[in-house]
Amino acid sequence: MIGVLEKDKTILFRHAFLILLTASQLMGCAVLSTNTECGTEDSREYTMKNKELQLKDNSTKYRMPVVFHVLYNTEAENISKQEIENMLATLSHDFTAKNIDLAEVPTEFKAFVGNPDITFYLANKLPNGEDTDGIIRKKTTNKSFKVRERKAFFQSKIISPKSYLNVYICDIKNSNAYTPTESNLAHDGIVIDYKRVFGGSRTLTHEVGHWLDLRHIF
Ligand SMILES: [Zn+2]
């Protein structure tokens, strides 16, 4: 069975926490050490309050369209489509249990390895039926964005957050990535620092884990 992953994201990936764990290990918890909003109890309260949780049917495959908003002040921040596609491929590998480091999961956790079976892809249609390549580029006068400011979310119009994952790529001051904490659909999505998207980065994997209600367990 193939289903579109509907947002409200009414899914609890009880077994998928290893994805988050693995991604954190690989990043040396760089996201965690500098980011006060990445997977905090505040964000947990938000997700628990605003999402109806239910266990996933193991036979269901999900396909999630993603829209990237590239907010750039300098050309270096205007990330190429190839880099975005590489990061998206990593994300899909991680959420379909095709990541090559799955074999390195410590023995005591192996029994809990799950496969959420979610494939993420660049959106090819906008809600109004227009074609898109899934990347919205916008030059900004902001040299950087602070974590707790919501400016990044207002620099580019969010695309139907009930049907798309919106990812904002920009220069985030003193942080690498975060998910929002308020119960506000206008802020639904993920903001990631442009320096964290290169080479098939797994920073997005980590943040999508939070976006799907996973929390830090360590
Ligand atoms: Zn985190």
pLDDT digits (tens, 9 = 90+) for 142-199: 999 988 778 888 889 999 998 999 999 999 987 888 887 666 788 889 999 999 999 9
The answer to whether 112 and 21 are in contact (CB under 8 A) is: no
**Percent of residues, the chain, with pLDDT higher than 90:** 48
Q: 74-131, pLDDT tens digit by residue?
A: 999 999 999 999 999 999 999 999 998 999 999 998 998 889 899 999 999 999 999 9
Token pair for 140? 């900004």
State how far the Cα of 36 lies from the Cα of 30, in Å rounded to an integer. Answer: 12
The answer to whether 7 and 211 are in contact (CB under 8 A) is: no
Ligand 1 mean position, distance from CA 92 (Å):
18
**Percent of residues, the chain, with pLDDT higher than 70:** 72
Q: In the chain, what are the domains?
A: 2-211 (3.40.390.10)
* pLDDT in the model for residue 215: 81
State how far the Cα of 195 lies from the Cα of 95, in Å rounded to an integer. Answer: 22
Ligand 1 mean position, distance from CA 38 (Å):
4
| pTM score, whole prediction | 0.78
State how far the Cα of 161 lies from the Cα of 7, in Å rounded to an integer. Answer: 7
Ligand 1 mean position, distance from CA 157 (Å):
25
Ligand 1 mean position, distance from CA 210 (Å):
7
Give the amino acid at 85. Answer: E
Ligand 1 mean position, distance from CA 35 (Å):
8
Q: 35-79, pLDDT tens digit by residue?
A: 445 655 555 554 544 444 344 556 778 999 999 999 999 999 999
Which of 173, 168, 99 is CA-nearest to residue 137? 168
Ligand 1 mean position, distance from CA 132 (Å):
30
More confident residue, 80 or 4: 80
pLDDT of 10 > 80? The answer is: no
* Helix segments in the chain, DSSP class H: 17-26, 30-34, 41-50, 81-94, 151-155, 203-211
* pLDDT in the model for residue 39: 58
* pLDDT in the model for residue 68: 98
Token pair for 103? 């074999």
Q: Which residues, including other chains, have CB under 8 Å from residue 81's CB and lie 6 or more apart?
A: 133, 135
